Amino acid sequence: MKYIRKILIYIILSAGGIFMLYPVLWLIGASFKSNSEIFSSVWFMPENFDFTPYINGWKTSGTYTMGHYFLNTFKIVIPRVIFSVISSTVTAYGFAMYDFPFKKIIFGCLMCMLFIPQTVMLLPSYIMWDFFGVLDTYIPLILPSLFANEGMFVFMLVQFFKSVPREIGEASRIDGCGAFKRLLFIYVPCIKPAVISVAVFVFLWTMNEFIQPLMYISSVEKYPLTLALRMSSDSTGQGYEYNKIIAMSVIGLIPSVSVFALAQKYFIQDITAGGLK
Amino acid sequence: MKKIYNNPVGESKYTGLIFVMPFVTGFILFGIYPFAMSFILSFTDSGINSSAEFIGIENFRRLLNDSDFHKAVAVTLKYILMLVPLKLIVSLGTALLLNMNIKGMGFFRTVYYIPSILGSNIAIVIMWSFLFTSGGLVNQVLEKLGIMPVSWYGESTPAMFMIVLLRVWEFGSTMIIFLSALNDIPRELYDSARVDGAGKIRTFFSITLPMLRNVIFFNLVMQSITAFQEFNAPFMITGGNPMKGTYTVSMLIYDEAFRYYDTGYANAVSWVLFTMTALFVAVLFRITRKLRSDDI
């Protein structure tokens, strides 16, 4: 009886798992298929592996190769990951470790930011960046991350900082360690998994970000990957070169998948363990 | 009475303030300022000509008679009602299964989490639009099963269901939150329930569900807020079609601002969207007040 129940659970989970992963498998398979095969078979394995979609996809139909768009994306993603991690950690440290005037109000503002729809902010922000004359640059996409603009991460890191035993900090303070030094050499190593999770999340979100680049970046030369993909899926008019667009999409997923695979160890376990308390 | 700040000995009460300065600065620049600016602009005709004139509540009066706006509100509400309950049920159900103490759960957790990592990526959105074309994978499977293929792009309800399915498919992050809450339920509760002779179903309704109520509420609120702002998927997959059947309020705002350059009106619409979201959340708070415990 117990066995049957176990097997049943495995069957349900596997069926669900197939439903979750099959579209991705199909996408990868379809990138090697001919255009007619894409719409004639349900099975994800292509009859034979044809790499021309990838070669054509990498070249794209426009002036620039995919490599160019990748570079653009990383010009946004890398500074943003670094800035977000630093600013969120410093802010969270302040909230978790110190008592100061207006603390409650400021923390309330942080929580508010979680609940305000981004749509309301988009237009005035656009007008503001226009006023500073930095439209069609990466500044509007990168600069806000210097100011701990992702309240979610600050909130998460505060919980983790609070879980570090206070004695550790006290000991280092008596040994003459300053506030910043203490943060960098004592506390951050203690909550390393959480900091890594923040970095990974910022990376993935920025890779996927769409509406902000769509608003701010107007010249094709500066397009990040997401806009380039959208442009090519538009310009072929969902028309004849399906496999090429699919191949480009698969290439576009590689950074996210690899980062997730590398950080997976920290990711799910730790969020499950410490996450929302 | 002088307030006493509970800081380590020798630390000034301003040390903490220095640490949170990045956030405070950012909040003023990228939070309060745009927020207030948006409100002011909604009473102007900014955008049409370069100088913005104050036109009072004209934009809001226009809203009342704008059938596109009414349709977009209806579409957005329909989308929320279709998506949020379905996504919460799927996430909770899967979390319950994955919370069982069986070998290989780590593997399954990863599998179920992957779509939410990739989910909002444009590549996936493009893939989704291919899966549902008239000869695409979904219709091929339906045909194999002997079910009539559906014209996903032809009618508004299937078109919306297609987008809902995409968002349900990426339920991973909601599920993880449920999983962590399930982890936090003390084992003793289940043990004593078993000793008292409570069955599986009884245990679920008397222990699991009540212990999860705050997390369910949190997910409900967060998912509703996100759903109110849905833009990417309809923009990329259906373009708001057919017959504006998937044309959400966010798409309307985008079009008004960046296609018709009517920023004043677009701001008015975003403020109405914000008010609607706030009201919706307030109503959720109110009707679930009795069901929640007090610490949220």
The tally of CA atoms less than 13 A away on the side-chain side of residue A147 is 18
A123·B131 Cβ contact <8 A? no
Cα–Cα distance for residue pair B57/B43, rounded to 1 Å: 6
Inter-chain CB proximity A123 and B257 less than 8 Å: yes
Domain that holds residue B83: 61-287
The number of domains in chain B is: 1
Residue A45 parent element (H or E): none
Asked if residue B43 belongs to a domain, the reply is: no
Q: What is the residue-averaged pLDDT of chain A?
A: 81
Decide if pLDDT at B122 tops 80.
no
B-chain residue closest to A252, CA distance: B123
Whole-Å CA distances, B53 to A83, A121, A156: 39, 21, 43
- Please identify, in words, the CATH class of the domain defined by A58-274: mainly alpha
Residue B232 is assigned to a structural domain of this protein: yes
Q: Are A191 and A156 in contact (CB under 8 A)?
A: no
Q: How many CB atoms lie under 10 A from the CB of residue A48?
A: 9
Q: What is the ipTM of this complex?
A: 0.78
Inter-chain residue contact A246 with B111, CB threshold 8 Å: no
Q: How many CB pairs under 8 A join A and B?
A: 273
Is the pLDDT assigned to residue A274 strictly greater than 50?
no
Q: Chain B contacts of A27, Cβ < 8 Å?
A: 123, 127
The 10s digit of each residue's pLDDT in A85-100 is 999 999 999 998 888 8
CA distances from B234 to B34, B77, B174, B287 (A): 26, 14, 21, 30
> Does A198 have pLDDT greater than 90?
no
Report residue B56's pLDDT band, with 50, 70 and 90 as the boundaries. Answer: confident
pLDDT tens digits, one per residue of B19-54 = 899 899 988 888 888 888 888 888 888 775 567 777
Tens of pLDDT, residue by residue over B89-106, are 999 999 988 888 777 777
Which amino acid is located at B74 in the chain?
A
Contacts of A127 in chain B (CB under 8 A): 37, 41, 46, 263
Residues A268, A247: Cα–Cα separation, whole Å: 29
- Distance from the Cα of A208 to chain B's closest Cα (Å) equals 4
What is the reported pLDDT for A236? 53
Domain ranges of chain A: 2-57, 58-274
Q: Which chain B residues contact residue A121 at CB under 8 A?
A: 30-31, 34-35, 38
Contact B270 A122 (CB under 8 A): yes
Chain-centroid distance, C-alpha B81: 12
Residues of A in contact with B133 (CB under 8 A): 39, 238
Report which of B186, B219, B177 is spatially closest to residue A275, judged by C-alpha positions.
B177
Answer yes or no: do A41 and B140 touch at CB < 8 A: yes
DSSP collapsed to 3 states, chain B: CCCCCCCCCCCCCCHHHHHCHHHHHHHHHHHHHHHHHHHHHCCECECCECCCCECCCHHHHHHHHCHHHHHHHHHHHHHHHHHHHHHHHHHHHHHHHHCCCCCCHHHHHHHHHHHHHHCCCHHHHHHHHHHCCCCCHHHHHHHHCCCCCCCCCCCHHHHHHHHHHHHHHCCHHHHHHHHHHHHHCCHHHHHHHHHCCCCHHHHHHHHHHHHHHHHHHHHHHHHHHHHHCCCHHHHHHHCCCCCCCCCCHHHHHHHHHHCCCCHHHHHHHHHHHHHHHHHHHHHHHHHCCCCCCCCC
Tell me which residue in B23, B37, B123 faces A148 most closely, judged by beta carbons: B23
Cα–Cα dist B237/B162, whole Å: 9
Q: Quote the CA–CA distance of A245 and B123 in Å, as a whole number.
A: 9
Nearest residue in B to A259, CA atom: B117
CATH code of the domain covering residue B176: 1.10.3720.10
Nearest CB neighbour to B110, from listed A30, A98, A268: A268
- Using a CB-CB cut-off of 8 Å, the residues of chain B touching A26 are 131, 137
- Which residues does chain B have within 8 Å of residue A142's beta carbon, measured at their own beta carbons? none
Give the type of residue at A89.
T
Q: Which of A31, A33, A122, A266 to mutate to test the interface with B (most CBs of B within 10 A)?
A: A122
A30-63: per-residue pLDDT in tens?
A: 888 777 777 776 677 777 777 777 887 787 777 7
Q: Give the model confidence (pLDDT) of B189-242 as tens digits.
A: 888 888 888 788 888 888 888 888 888 888 888 888 889 888 888 888 888 777
Q: How confident is the model at residue A277 (pLDDT cuts 50, 70, 90)?
A: very low
Smallest CA–CA separation between A130 and chain B, in Å? 12
List the one residue out of A148, A277, A249 whose CA is nearest residue B218.
A277
> Percentage of residues in chain A with pLDDT exceeding 70?
91
